[in-house]
């Protein structure tokens, strides 16, 4: 902590202290206030792509994970309108990829699934895109299943900033954006990726899965089977 | 056909890499040249470039995969891209493209079996006044018709190099129809810089402030404010008064010539025939903010202007108007470099443009910080439109009061419009701000005008009921596009076309725009095919608002405009298209059997549902 927290913003009417340099998200999480998010992880540089954390600041919509907190900001977060829009974004993420929760070994530990429950998503609502996406099982210890990738770039950031390896990157544009790996063959098995890498453990969905671990913890006993994501992600010291 | 292999890629790429000094900010420029030489960017080239630039291979692949004009798969020795703007459509683009494909025995979007040619669509190439237009390996083809396409097909069959094609195929006319203060008067090169030096930077900024010049790219931010923010960003740190330059790059001037908004082509003409005025404006700006480095970011579609522009820059260097000690003023150093884009509308957004200038994917940055404080390579950077710089050059020469006397109080000066669509005289028209739509329509010989798309897909569509409205920031702000639709044109098709444009150009960074533009496209396709319902219209309204409120940048904020606007102003064109149902599934059961029918070669009644 160290930094002086003598300024405040208000989130849904509650005074929240912050230190200079903190974003709205930083201040909220530190105070135990949940703002839905997927591409954000407090351990990494904010990204601002999923837009789930959009809040209204003095009437203007901003991504709370990238917007620096400023003295006197009046933030609306847990409102019907914002949660409805967030739900639509999660539905979009579901239909643009191929997400089959009942058959996915990440079920129960998946942030995408958990945030969908959190936002009362009852159906995907939009027409499914059913895009053809590549699965890469070439690595001895890790699966890469692009069907579940939401392009949050957490693995990109982790590999670059923590592991110092730059195993992942994005190519393509628009709906054609896709995760690529750093190998001539385009296969994960031919990169320097290791199961011990930070990047192997940051995927909020089931796009990066560690092999032979899938059902070590049975369904029903997983993180979000017992507690909502809003509780888990606002715990002190939560990664 | 299997892609060929490239065992000698190192020696093939060496000259290009050497010329660009193995500099990562030149990555996009390098990739463009590789595409030119090899007609695509083979995996071997990606690996080779990555190793020389000391960057991950995935980084190079990421950039190469982002831009439309770069291709990671073979795209044929001749790559023909038909401009897909609605004005090209109205001039017969779909039929011409089909005719051309039949002629060459190719399918749109695929490469011919002999790897000779591919034919596809591309976003508006900025030739709406002389369409239908296309690009062949990046060079513009205008006024296409069956005869010209016959000739082009023959030249391709004979494998004639582009240099041997008849020059008339590549002719691009200026089509200036109405001149005002920017286009009419000639300015002697250096006149505005001399005035700036005589008056001093501080006073020049005051003149600019007095002129009330606002950015011509559409957003209308006050230019004097932008320039003074950029100067102030590090003024304390470097202790400089306005205009103190010590020779190291501390601030950057960027001219945004990524004129990608469909229907806009005024920058094309300014750069083709008034380049001195634009460069003069940049140099004045450099003096005012204390910049030593300048870039012209030229959209890939305008690469045919590159040599011409470099010649103008050389001439200006030779006359002491660029380079060290400009016009003999000690320490006034400024030079301009041209960067080419490679087919990405998003790079017209200033922070995406800066990313692209740095050789990266054109992804809009998180703001704050803004480019005026943290722009190109983190330096305070001014990004202004081509026309804004032309105005600044005039203001520096003639003074702020002179400029402010034209137009309206909130929108001073003149505006150059690019007029296309249903009119007798498409082309470039310069008007003082405040001119009515009706007046413009009369001048260009519009035929039974019914609707006008002002400022392109991201702008707004107005109906015949609104023709008394004025071109001005306070009424109809515009970056310059003015596309006219006559009575009996299907306005739905315009919105349909624009929706496809946004889906193609979304950078893919944020969820609402990446997915929202696709959903919008799918729903418009559904309505177009006669399966639309009232539910679909409601869905599109929600999508439009969602994109406006949650998207990362202006592209997503405006991507819903064409649909929201036309639904509000022309509800009947939608209602006519709707199936008479409250609900109609998006999934077409019979359509899903099409592949099976193709495989079995059946098309009898029993093969349909």
Q: Is the domain of B187 the same as that of B93?
A: no
For residue B483, whether the previous peptide bond is cis, meaning omega lies within 30 degrees of 0, is: no
> CB distance from A49 to chain B under 8 Å?
yes
Q: Compare all CA atoms of chain B with the CA of A174 and give the residue at the minimum distance.
A: B508
Which B residues in the span 357-416 are in contact with A, Cβ-Cβ below 8 Å? 361, 366, 368
Q: Is the domain of B240 the same as that of B387?
A: yes
- Cβ neighbours of A85 in B, within 8 Å: 546, 549-550
Residue B386 within any structural domain of the chain = yes
Rg (CA), chain B: 25
Positive or negative CA dihedral for B156, B162, B166, B170?
Answer: positive
- Cβ neighbours of A63 in B, within 8 Å: 366, 552
Give the bridge partners for B253, in sequence order.
Answer: B294, B382
- Cβ neighbours of B552 in A, within 8 Å: 48-49, 51, 63
Q: Is the domain of B203 the same as that of B339?
A: yes
> CB distance from B586 to chain A under 8 Å?
yes
Residue B590 within any structural domain of the chain = no
- Cβ neighbours of A61 in B, within 8 Å: 549-550
Asked whether B56 and A156 are in contact (CB, 8 A), the reply is no
Beta strand pairing call for A142-145 and A135-136: antiparallel
Domains of chain A, each with CATH number or no CATH: 7-78 (3.10.20.740), 86-226 (3.30.70.20)
Calculated CA dihedral for residues B396, B259, B528, B557, nearest 10 degrees: -60
CATH code of the domain covering residue B112: 3.40.30.10
Asked whether B180 and B430 are in contact (CB, 8 A), the reply is yes
Residue among B65, B503, B587 whose CB faces A172 most closely: B65
The Cβ of residue B191 has, within 10 Å, a number of other Cβ atoms equal to: 17
Q: Does pLDDT of B47 surpass 50?
A: yes
Q: Compare all CA atoms of chain B with the CA of A150 and give the residue at the minimum distance.
A: B511
Using one digit for the tens of pLDDT, what is the confidence trace for B268-289? 999 999 999 999 999 999 999 9
- Cβ neighbours of A132 in B, within 8 Å: none
CA angle, B487 then B493 then B495, to 5°: 105
Give the bridge partners for B80, in sequence order.
Answer: B119, B136
Please give the Cα distance from B317 to B445 (Å, whole number). Answer: 43
> CB distance from B557 to chain A under 8 Å?
no
The answer to whether the Cβ–Cβ distance between B511 and A51 falls below 8 Å is yes
Q: Does pLDDT of A3 surpass 80?
A: no
Residue B592 within any structural domain of the chain = no
Q: Does pLDDT of B54 surpass 80?
A: yes
Give the domain-ending residue among B352, B383, B404.
B404
- How far apart are the two ends of chain A, measured CA to CA in Å? 16
Asked whether B133 and B141 are in contact (CB, 8 A), the reply is yes
CATH code of the domain covering residue B519: 1.20.1440.230
pLDDT recorded at residue B88: 97
Using one digit for the tens of pLDDT, what is the confidence trace for A5-23? 789 999 999 999 999 999 9
Q: Is the domain of B358 the same as that of B321?
A: yes
- Counted across chains A and B, CB pairs separated by less than 8 A come out at 117
- Work out the percent of chain B whose per-residue pLDDT is above 90: 88
Residue B596 within any structural domain of the chain = no
pLDDT recorded at residue B310: 98
Please give the Cα distance from B47 to B509 (Å, whole number). Answer: 25
Confidence of residue B2 (pLDDT cuts 50, 70, 90): very low
Give the domain-ending residue among B457, B487, B517.
B487
- Cβ neighbours of A48 in B, within 8 Å: 366, 510, 552
Q: Is the domain of B369 the same as that of B449?
A: no
Please give the Cα distance from B580 to A173 (Å, whole number). Answer: 37
The answer to whether the Cβ–Cβ distance between A184 and B47 falls below 8 Å is yes
Please give the Cα distance from B523 to B527 (Å, whole number). Answer: 6
Q: Is the domain of B551 the same as that of B432?
A: no
Residue among B66, B504, B515 whose CB faces A92 most closely: B515
pLDDT recorded at residue B238: 54
C-alpha distance from residue B470 to each of A188, B330, B407, B466 (Å):
58, 46, 11, 9
What's the order of all strands across the beta sheet hosting B414-421? B176-178, B427-432, B414-421, B481-486, B449-454, B460-463
Using one digit for the tens of pLDDT, what is the confidence trace for B75-114? 999 999 999 999 999 999 999 999 999 999 999 999 999 9
Question: Who's near A205: CB < 8 A, 6+ residues apart?
Answer: A99, A106, A110, A111, A112, A148, A149, A150
Please give the Cα distance from B603 to B471 (Å, whole number). Answer: 55
Using one digit for the tens of pLDDT, what is the confidence trace for A118-152? 999 999 999 999 999 999 999 999 999 999 999 99
Q: Compare all CA atoms of chain B with the CA of A95 and give the residue at the minimum distance.
A: B515
Q: Compare all CA atoms of chain A with the CA of B508 and give the residue at the minimum distance.
A: A174
Q: How many domains does chain B have?
A: 5
CATH code of the domain covering residue B448: 3.10.20.600
Confidence of residue B248 (pLDDT cuts 50, 70, 90): low
- Cβ neighbours of B66 in A, within 8 Å: 171-173
What does DSSP assign to residue B450? E
Phi then psi for residue B335, to 5 deg, are -140, 160
CA angle, B382 then B366 then A42, to 5°: 150
Q: Does pLDDT of B258 surpass 50?
A: yes
Reported ipTM exceeds the 0.85 cut = yes
Q: Is the domain of B224 the same as that of B107?
A: no
Residue B343 within any structural domain of the chain = yes
Q: Is the domain of B168 the same as that of B241?
A: no
Q: Is the domain of B266 the same as that of B332?
A: yes
The answer to whether the Cβ–Cβ distance between A182 and B58 falls below 8 Å is yes
Please give the Cα distance from B317 to B327 (Å, whole number). Answer: 10
CATH code of the domain covering residue B214: 3.40.50.11540
Residue B31 within any structural domain of the chain = yes
Residue B301 within any structural domain of the chain = yes
Q: Which among B46, B51, B62 is the top mutation candidate for probing chain A, defined by the most A β-carbons within 10 Å of its own β-carbon?
A: B62
pLDDT recorded at residue B461: 96
The answer to whether the Cβ–Cβ distance between B546 and A68 falls below 8 Å is no
> CB distance from B43 to chain A under 8 Å?
yes
> CB distance from A177 to chain B under 8 Å?
yes
Q: Is the domain of B251 the same as that of B339?
A: yes
Q: What is the domain range of residue B423?
A: 415-487
Q: Compare all CA atoms of chain B with the CA of A171 and give the residue at the minimum distance.
A: B62
The answer to whether the Cβ–Cβ distance between A85 and B550 falls below 8 Å is yes
Q: Does pLDDT of A1 surpass 50?
A: no
C-alpha distance from residue B430 to each of B64, B129, B374, B476, B542 (Å):
38, 15, 34, 16, 38
> CB distance from A52 to chain B under 8 Å?
yes
For residue B283, whether the previous peptide bond is cis, meaning omega lies within 30 degrees of 0, is: no
- Cβ neighbours of B57 in A, within 8 Å: 182-184
Q: Is the domain of B535 the same as that of B564?
A: yes
Residue B2 within any structural domain of the chain = no
State the smallest CA–CA distance between residue B542 and chain A in angstroms.
9
Give the domain-ending residue among B404, B427, B456.
B404
Beta strand pairing call for B293-298 and B335-340: parallel
> CB distance from A92 to chain B under 8 Å?
yes
The answer to whether the Cβ–Cβ distance between B552 and A183 falls below 8 Å is no
Q: Is the domain of B478 the same as that of B536?
A: no
pLDDT recorded at residue A239: 54
The answer to whether the Cβ–Cβ distance between A171 and B66 falls below 8 Å is yes
Confidence of residue B237 (pLDDT cuts 50, 70, 90): low
Confidence of residue B250 (pLDDT cuts 50, 70, 90): confident
Annotate A47-86 with three-state secondary structure. CCCCCCCEEEECCEEEECCCCECCCCCEEECCCHHHHHHH
């Amino acid at each position: 902590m160290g930094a002086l927290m003598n300024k405040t913003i208000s989130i849904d009417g509650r005074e929240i202290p912050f230190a200079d340099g903190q974003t709205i998200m930083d201040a909220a999480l530190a105070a135990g206030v949940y703002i839905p998010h997927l591409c954000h992880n407090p351990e990494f540089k904010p990204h601002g792509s999923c837009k789930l954390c959009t809040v209204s600041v003095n009437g203007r919509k901003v991504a709370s994970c990238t917007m620096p907190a400023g003295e006197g900001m009046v933030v609306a977060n847990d409102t019907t309108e914002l949660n409805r829009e967030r739900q639509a974004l999660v539905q979009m993420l579901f239909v643009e990829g191929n997400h089959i929760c009942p058959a996915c070994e990440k079920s129960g530990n998946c942030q995408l699934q958990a945030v969908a429950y959190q936002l009362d998503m009852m159906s995907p609502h939009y027409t499914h895109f059913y895009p053809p996406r590549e699965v890469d099982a070439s690595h001895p210890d890790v699966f890469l299943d692009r069907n579940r990738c939401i392009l949050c770039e957490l693995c990109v950031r982790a590999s670059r900033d923590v592991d110092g390896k730059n195993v992942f990157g994005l190519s393509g544009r628009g709906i054609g954006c896709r995760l690529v790996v750093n190998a001539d063959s385009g296969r994960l098995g031919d990169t320097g990726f290791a199961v011990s890498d930070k990047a192997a453990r940051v995927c909020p969905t089931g796009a990066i899965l560690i092999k032979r671990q899938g059902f070590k913890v049975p369904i029903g006993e997983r993180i979000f089977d017992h507690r909502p994501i809003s509780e888990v992600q606002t715990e002190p010291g939560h990664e | 056909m299997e892609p060929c292999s490239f065992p000698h890629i190192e020696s093939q790429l060496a000259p290009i890499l050497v010329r660009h000094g193995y500099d990562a900010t030149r990555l996009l420029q390098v990739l463009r040249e590789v595409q030119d030489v090899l007609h695509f960017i083979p995996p071997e080239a990606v690996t080779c470039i990555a190793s020389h630039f000391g960057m991950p291979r995935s980084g190079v692949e990421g950039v190469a995969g982002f831009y439309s004009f770069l291709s990671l798969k073979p795209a044929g020795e001749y790559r023909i891209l038909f401009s897909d703007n609605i004005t090209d459509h109205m001039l017969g683009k779909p039929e011409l493209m089909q005719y051309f494909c039949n002629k060459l025995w190719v399918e749109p979007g695929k490469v011919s079996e002999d790897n000779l040619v591919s034919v596809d669509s591309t976003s508006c190439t900025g030739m709406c006044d002389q369409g239908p237009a296309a690009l062949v390996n990046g060079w513009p083809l205008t006024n296409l018709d069956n005869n010209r396409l016959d000739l082009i097909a023959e030249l391709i069959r004979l494998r004639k190099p582009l240099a041997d094609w008849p020059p008339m195929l590549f002719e691009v006319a200026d089509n200036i129809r109405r001149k005002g203060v920017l286009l009419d008067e000639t300015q002697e090169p250096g006149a505005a810089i001399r005035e700036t030096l005589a008056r001093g930077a501080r006073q020049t900024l005051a003149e600019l402030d007095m002129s009330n010049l606002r950015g011509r790219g559409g957003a209308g931010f006050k230019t004097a404010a932008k320039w003074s923010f950029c100067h102030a960003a590090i003024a304390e740190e470097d202790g400089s008064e306005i205009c103190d330059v010590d020779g190291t790059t501390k601030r950057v001037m960027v001219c945004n010539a990524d004129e990608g908004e469909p229907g806009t082509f005024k920058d094309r003409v300014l750069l083709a025939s008034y380049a001195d005025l634009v460069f003069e404006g940049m140099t004045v700006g450099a003096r005012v903010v204390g910049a030593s480095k300048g870039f012209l970011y030229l959209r890939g579609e305008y690469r045919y202007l590159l040599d011409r522009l470099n010649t103008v820059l050389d001439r200006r260097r030779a006359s002491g108007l660029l380079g060290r000690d400009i016009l003999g003023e000690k320490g006034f150093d400024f030079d301009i470099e041209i960067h080419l884009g490679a087919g990405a509308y998003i790079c017209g957004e200033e922070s995406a443009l800066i990313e692209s200038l740095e050789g990266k994917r054109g992804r809009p940055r998180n703001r704050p910080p803004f480019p005026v404080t943290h722009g190109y390579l983190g330096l305070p950077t001014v990004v202004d439109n081509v026309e804004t710089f032309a105005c600044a050059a005039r203001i520096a020469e003639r003074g702020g009061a002179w400029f402010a006397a034209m137009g309206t109080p909130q929108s001073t000066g003149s505006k150059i419009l690019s007029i296309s669509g249903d009119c007798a005289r498409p082309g470039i028209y310069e008007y003082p701000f405040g001119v009515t739509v009706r007046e413009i329509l009369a001048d260009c010989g519009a035929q039974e005008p019914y609707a006008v798309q002002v400022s392109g897909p991201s702008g707004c569509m107005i109906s015949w009921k609104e023709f008394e409205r004025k071109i001005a920031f306070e009424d109809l702000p515009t970056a310059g596009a003015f596309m006219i639709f006559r009575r009996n044109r299907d306005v739905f098709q315009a919105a349909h076309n624009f929706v496809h444009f946004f889906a193609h150009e979304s950078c893919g960074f944020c969820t609402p725009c990446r997915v929202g533009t696709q959903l919008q496209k799918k729903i418009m396709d559904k309505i177009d095919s006669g399966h639309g319902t009232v539910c679909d219209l409601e869905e599109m309204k929600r999508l439009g608002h969602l994109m406006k409120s949650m998207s990362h940048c202006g592209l997503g904020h405006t991507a819903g405009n064409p649909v929201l606007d036309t639904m509000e102003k022309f509800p009947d064109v939608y209602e006519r298209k709707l199936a008479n149902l409250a609900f109609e599934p998006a999934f077409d059961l019979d359509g899903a059997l099409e592949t099976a029918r193709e495989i079995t070669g059946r098309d009898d009644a029993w093969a349909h549902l």
